[in-house]
């Protein structure tokens, strides 16, 4: 199971092998992406470093690209839309410098981040053992008669109409 430091790649016989996917798409992963994938774990630092390489690549390709912040340790960014040649420059940078690590990191954050933890708590409170993936947790709560978003995630993460935090500033 992944740790707070990063996400573990299950192995070549698992459903997602980023190197095989890149190969099948005709994408040559950068040496740095391959190095980060080699130990079977993607760390937050490796993810951040890959994002910086993406930025350097887009700058060199004269693609207008900006970081907009992060949400749940997932980088949000903006890229200017352009013609087909412009889009190809961005896609080449993204694929070679960032795509494999980005996919794995986002999958990790989704399946083991704060929302997944909230869902697991709700499932345990209903007397069941949570399943592994977030999609399975949603399904499990629905089968237990609970609305995963409105009755579990929103109140526990203090968002939405069922939030428990006091909205009045002190």
pLDDT of residue 32: 92
pLDDT tens digit string along 24-55? 878 888 999 999 888 878 889 999 999 999 99
38 falls within a domain: yes
Please check whether residues 77 and 150 belong to one and the same domain.
no
pLDDT at 62 over 70: yes
- pLDDT band for 15, please (50, 70, 90 cuts): low
pLDDT tens digit string along 114-133? 899 999 999 999 999 999 88
**CA–CA separation, 90 and 77 (whole Å):** 12
pLDDT tens digit string along 72-114? 789 999 999 888 988 999 999 999 999 999 988 988 888 888 8
- DSSP state at residue 3: B
Please check whether residues 126 and 77 belong to one and the same domain.
no
What is the domain extent for residue 39? Answer: 6-112
Tell me the pTM: 0.68
**CA–CA separation, 131 and 114 (whole Å):** 15
Name all contacts of 112-121 with Cβ < 8 Å and 24+ positions apart.
112/1, 112/2, 112/7, 113/72, 113/73, 114/72, 114/157, 115/72, 115/153, 115/157, 118/152, 118/153, 118/156, 118/157, 119/148, 119/152, 119/153, 121/152, 121/156
Q: Where are the beta strands (DSSP E) in the chain?
A: 6-8, 41-43, 65-71, 74-79
pLDDT of residue 168: 39
| Cβ burial, residue 167 (10 Å; 0-12/13-18/19+) | exposed
72's CB contacts (< 8 A; 6+ apart) are 109, 113, 114, 115
Please check whether residues 14 and 93 belong to one and the same domain.
yes
Please check whether residues 86 and 101 belong to one and the same domain.
yes
167 falls within a domain: no
Please check whether residues 106 and 121 belong to one and the same domain.
no
pLDDT at 143 over 60: yes
166 falls within a domain: no
- pLDDT band for 3, please (50, 70, 90 cuts): very low
Cβ proximity of 141 and 123 under 8 Å: yes
- pLDDT band for 150, please (50, 70, 90 cuts): very high
């Amino acid at each position: 199971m992944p740790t707070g430091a990063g996400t573990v790649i299950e192995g070549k016989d698992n459903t997602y092998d980023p190197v095989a996917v890149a190969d099948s798409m005709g994408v040559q992963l950068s040496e740095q992406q391959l190095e980060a994938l080699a130990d079977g774990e993607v760390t937050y630092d490796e993810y951040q470093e890959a994002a910086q390489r993406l930025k350097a690549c887009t700058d060199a390709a004269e693609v207008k690209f900006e970081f907009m912040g992060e949400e749940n340790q997932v980088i949000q960014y903006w890229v200017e839309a352009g013609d087909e040649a412009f889009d190809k420059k961005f896609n080449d940078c993204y694929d070679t410098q960032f795509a494999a690590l980005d996919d794995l990191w986002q999958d990790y954050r989704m399946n083991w981040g704060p929302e997944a933890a909230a869902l697991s708590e709700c499932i345990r409170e209903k007397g069941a053992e949570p399943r592994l993936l977030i999609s399975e947790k949603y399904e499990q709560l629905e089968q237990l008669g609970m609305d995963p978003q409105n009755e579990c995630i929103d109140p526990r993460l203090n968002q939405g109409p069922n939030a428990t935090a006091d909205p009045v500033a002190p």
